[in-house]
Copies of this chain bind each other. A is one copy, B any other.
Amino acid sequence: MAKTSQAAGLHRASLDKLHDLDAALELMYYGWRGMTLEADAYLAKQGLSRPHHRILYVVARRPDIAIGSLLEVLGISKQALSRPLNLLQERKLVTSKRSPEQHRSKLLRLTEAGRRIEQRASDHERKVLREAFDRVGASGAAAWMAVMETIADNN
């Protein structure tokens, strides 16, 4: 997992706008990329990548989450989870213990090192958001959140 670096290039291309909302459509694409670029670079330096970060992020916010619940939250199969999760455990970024009462399920937690990496990776992403929000002020930030909520809830 993880390579040296990515394709580079990838400056926002300037394409003709055929429709009113083409600019917005492209901004969603480049926005996602802009937010994750530095975090991905940091993760790659640690020999980790996006799937590992997703696991760390969720476990950080749901200590003692069971494997099954983690699968639900991530929306992937257990087979897809196993490789990145095993790596995180080998690296001692995540620990698991059996539940005292529900002995069937395994409860996951981050170690101190896991918390540190999760924080640093997420910090890169939050930094980009913070800078953008600072430029538009609180009302602009609120509008951004409102738009994104509507889009996100488009199931």
Complex partner residue of A21 from B13, B32, B126, B153, CB under 8 angstroms: B126
Given the interface contacts A32-B32, A129-B21, does A12 sit within 8 Å of B136 by beta carbon? no
Report the bound CA distance from A87 to B52 in whole Å: 33
Instruction: Give this chain's copy count.
Output: 2
> Are B145 and A27 interface neighbours, CB within 8 A?
yes
Interface residues on A, range: 35 or more
> Are B16 and A152 interface neighbours, CB within 8 A?
no
Report the bound CA distance from A32 to B15 in whole Å: 20
Residues of B within 8 A of A135 (CB): 146-147, 150
Given the interface contacts A24-B133, A122-B19, A133-B147, does A155 sit within 8 Å of B30 by beta carbon? no
Given the interface contacts A11-B155, A13-B58, A75-B9, does A147 sit within 8 Å of B132 by beta carbon? yes
In this complex, which of A60, A128, A136, A152 has the most chain B Cβ atoms within 10 angstroms of its Cβ?
A: A152
Residues of B within 8 A of A106 (CB): none
